[in-house]
């Protein structure tokens, strides 16, 4: 059942059926063949998640048209943008025909990975972010736009869950506290957690 966590932030547990989850895991594996990297932050820290990008390459804290090696970033496939429109329409219960995500970030969390509290503000557009979770469940901390601290809510995101962040929640701080190894259904992912976020860069083409 759909749950509005905050204005513009909607959690839809079990949105993807198991067959769709398996298809997405297979797609992620294909995208990851190009290599997943752990981004290095400007302060020198290395993120514990591993990432592969479609559409635009996210580099802390900006987007690039090319990868580190100069190769072009493959586009977001039409079927994935379609899935994003269906996700947004279901979460907000209104048509989302104009939603055109041109970025997909695929993040892999191994059993020890986490993501500190941050805002997603490198996009020039404030269109909603669509998040899909696959594999092990995690504790997701959903905070507020003004600080990395309280108030926040801790939510469990499970394989197949949809979360949409838009409107007043678009710039909320958020992070992943931990994953729970061994909690995944049989998605074909051997271990860990995958998260796909669809975004509108607002950077043109």
Task: By CB under 5 A, name the binding residues for Fe ion.
Answer: 120
Among the residue ranges 20-28, 63-71, 82-90, 169-177, the one whose residues contact ligand MD5 (CB under 6 A): 169-177
Least distance to ligand MD5, CB of residue 6, Å: 8
By C-beta, is 85 or 107 nearer to ligand MD5? 107
By C-beta, is 187 or 197 nearer to ligand MD5? 197
- Pick one of 21, 57, 197, 201: the residue that binds ligand MD5 (CB under 6 A): 197
User: Is 57 among the residues that bind ligand MD5 (CB under 6 A)?
Assistant: no
Cα separation of the two ends of the chain: 37
HSE at residue 82, side-chain half, CA atoms within 13 A, is 3
Q: How many residues does the chain have?
A: 205
Closest CA to 154 of 138, 165, 130, 170: 138
Instruction: Indicate the SS3 state at residue 106.
Output: strand
Q: Tell me, what DSSP letter sits at residue 121?
A: -
- Pick one of 165, 184, 187, 198: the residue that binds ligand MD5 (CB under 6 A): 165
Distance CA 128, CA 110 (A): 27
Q: Tell me, what DSSP letter sits at residue 181?
A: T
Contacts (CB under 6 A) with ligand MD5, residues 61-120: 105, 107, 115, 120
In the chain, alpha helices (H): 18-32, 78-92
- Pick one of 21, 131, 159, 179: the residue that binds ligand MD5 (CB under 6 A): 131
List of residues contacting ligand MD5 (CB under 6 A): 105, 107, 115, 120, 129, 131, 140, 142, 165, 169-170, 172, 174, 176, 195, 197
């Amino acid at each position: 059942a759909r749950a509005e966590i905050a204005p513009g932030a909607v959690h839809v547990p079990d949105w993807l059926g198991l067959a769709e989850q398996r298809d997405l895991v297979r797609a992620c594996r294909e995208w990851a063949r190009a290599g997943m990297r752990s981004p290095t932050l400007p302060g020198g820290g290395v993120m514990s998640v591993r990432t592969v990008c479609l559409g635009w390459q996210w580099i802390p804290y900006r987007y690039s048209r090319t990868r580190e090696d100069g190769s072009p970033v493959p586009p977001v496939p039409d079927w994935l943008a379609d899935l994003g429109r269906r996700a947004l329409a279901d979460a907000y219960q209104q048509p989302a025909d104009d939603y055109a995500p041109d970025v997909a970030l695929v993040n892999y969390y191994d059993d020890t990975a986490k993501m500190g509290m941050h805002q997603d503000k490198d996009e020039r557009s404030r269109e909603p972010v669509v998040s899909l979770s696959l594999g092990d469940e995690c504790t997701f901390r959903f905070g507020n736009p003004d600080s990395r601290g309280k108030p926040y809510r801790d939510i469990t995101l499970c394989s197949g869950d949809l979360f949409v962040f838009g409107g007043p929640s678009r710039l909320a701080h958020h992070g992943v506290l931990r994953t729970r190894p061994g909690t995944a259904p049989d998605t074909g992912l051997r271990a860990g957690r995958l998260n796909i976020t669809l975004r509108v860069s607002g950077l043109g083409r």
